[in-house]
Amino acid sequence: MSDMGPGRRSLRERLLSSGAMAPDWAFAFDAVPRGLFLPEVMWPSAEGERVVVSRTDDLEEWQRWADTDVSIVTQWDDGDHTGLERGELATSSGSMPGVVFDMLRELLVFDGAKVLEIGTGTGWCAALLSARLGETNVVSVEIDEAVAKAAREALDAAGWHPELVVGDGLLGWPDGAPYDRVLVTAGVREVPRAWIDQTRPGGVLVMPWGPIFTGQTALVRLVVNDDGTASGHFVGATRFMHVRSQRGEWPRHRDYLPDGWPADTRESTTSLTASDVLPEDDYAAVDFVLGLLVPDCVHAHGRSPRGTMTMWIYGLGDLSWAAAYFDEETPSASRVYQGGPRSLWNEVETAYRWWTEQGKPGHEQFGLTITTEGHQHPWLGEPSTLVRHIRE
């Protein structure tokens, strides 16, 4: 630790004092400087905005960001985008150190545990796992060839040689199975059975999981049972880029309402307010819970031309839609418009009322079971209390 710069030293202290980094991971932090895994040009997150930093132009600034507890985008648009401007979609990154160590802590590793990582990204995490568990116990899978190549070069230069695989991590890596631990560093909406099948009974999987309704995910820790199921609690909210095939296509408004309000639009009112269902906090439990109960839809919000906060909900797979115009002057009677086979607003309102009746439980009170057939069953409190989808 003696040759650590002040920025890295202070990050270390922060991670330890916040409890994100368990003491048994401090040695790995010391052995693996994050800066060795970050590219020449990168886009750290500064108060929600992405700024661009170049090592050649400003080494000090570049190093300051490398030692800061923020996520850093390292690739846009699956590599199609080049240049210094930000691209459309962040497709690879160095995850926030606090989140990386949260995940490593939740993984509950033991000396000599064999780990499969999905989403090599920069390679920093694979190096941390190698430092903690030995490089022969680490396999990491990355879908993007260029990202994997850069990670391999960085790992080689830093002196770590875990097994790196270029391929679709949703298939796991059967050649290295069975694993004691699986760490997924990209968000998933569907947990592939392959990951569970390749893990020993009693083994642990940690991943960011979230329904399509929201960009938010929650970290879940699943333990593999003897009967081949896997189950466990969520351990807190997070936000992650999703695995490639589960990003989800954003629907086009004009496909739902090509000519304004259709003649069969159903009108009603609601007493829910914008702050009930559109929290300012990106990590609020309500967003996650609505997604657990109301499947196969996404939502957006904005202000109408008259300045009214509006929530739009679009069904996926059918053309159901709903719009709630939150009336700040008469909040008990905001107007709702719905169309298509599902009444999506009614589903959201029923879900919200259910959550309120349960005492507004947070992420940690929910859990997830994956059955032997690969079905996903979220639950509240204990695995037998299933959270069921609402369909109206």
Summarize as ranges the residues that interact with ligand SAM (CB under 6 A). 91-95, 118-119, 121-122, 124-125, 141-144, 147, 168-170, 185-186, 241, 243-244
User: Cα-flanking dihedrals φ and ψ of residue 272, to 5°?
Assistant: -70, 150
In whole angstroms, the minimum distance from the beta carbon of 150 to ligand SAM comes to 10
Q: Please report how close the Cβ of residue 95 comes to ligand SAM at its closest, in angstroms.
A: 5
Token pair belonging to 71: 């996520």
CB of 93 to ligand SAM, least distance (A): 5
Find out whether 186 and 243 touch, Cβ atoms under 8 Å.
yes
Q: Which amino acid would we find at residue 68?
A: T
Q: Which is nearer to ligand SAM, 94 or 162 (CB)?
A: 94
The angle at the Cα of 144, spanning 158 to 376, to the nearest 5 degrees, equals 110
- 3-state DSSP assignment of residue 111: coil
Least CB distance to ligand SAM at residue 169 (A): 3
* 91 versus 320: smaller Cβ distance to ligand SAM: 91
Q: Which is nearer to ligand SAM, 88 or 357 (CB)?
A: 88
User: At closest approach, how far in Å is the CB of 192 from ligand SAM?
Assistant: 9
User: Which residue type is seen at 43?
Assistant: W
What contacts 3, CB < 8 A, 6 or more positions away? none
Which lies closer to ligand SAM via its Cβ, residue 164 or residue 277?
Answer: 164
Alpha-carbon gap, residue 313 to 296, rounded angstroms: 10
Closest distance of CB 180 from ligand SAM, Å:
18
Count of alpha carbons within 13 angstroms of residue 151, beta-carbon side: 30
Q: Point out the residues that are catalytic.
A: 95
The candidate with the shortest Cα–Cα distance to 252, out of 209, 298, 290, 293, is: 298
Least Cα distance to 313 among 284, 282, 352 occurs for 352
Q: Which is nearer to ligand SAM, 117 or 180 (CB)?
A: 117
- Residue nearer to ligand SAM on the CB measure, 169 or 378: 169
Q: 42: closest CA among 23, 20, 61? A: 61
Cα separation, 160 vs 134, whole angstroms: 9
In this structure, the strands spanning 41-46 and 266-270 are: unpaired
- Cα separation of 37 and 121, whole Å? 9
Q: Which CA distances in Å does 53 have to 30, 56, 64?
A: 24, 9, 10
- As given in the structure block, the two tokens for residue 167 are 């391929």
